Amino acid sequence: MNDELFAIEDITVALATRLMEEKGMDMIDALDAIYNSDTFAKVVDKSTGLMCQSDAYIYDYLNHE
């Protein structure tokens, strides 16, 4: 697995965990919310640089979507 895929996976796990803990979502709903968000599209787009931000920053970005 390359570094970018590892980073995306790590970010996804962190976001899903926070959505489950803070919003009471189950895992399926949390992952659905992430994968269908504009935020996730920007995370996987290297040109945005969002992948390099902290999990907390990306979570805040997701919440303000």
* Contact present, 58 and 7 (Cβ < 8 Å): no
The Cβ-side half-sphere exposure at 6, using a 13 Å CA radius, reads: 3
pLDDT one digit per residue (tens) for the chain, 65 residues: 699 999 999 999 999 999 999 999 999 999 999 999 999 999 999 999 999 999 999 999 999 99
Query: Where along the chain do its domains lie?
Result: 3-63
Which residues neighbour 31 within 8 Å (Cβ) at sequence distance 6 or greater? 12, 16
Whether the model clears a pTM of 0.85, i.e. scores above it, the answer is yes
pLDDT at residue 1 in the model:
62
Which residues neighbour 15 within 8 Å (Cβ) at sequence distance 6 or greater? 30, 34, 55, 58, 59, 62
pLDDT at residue 38 in the model:
98
* Contact present, 9 and 3 (Cβ < 8 Å): no
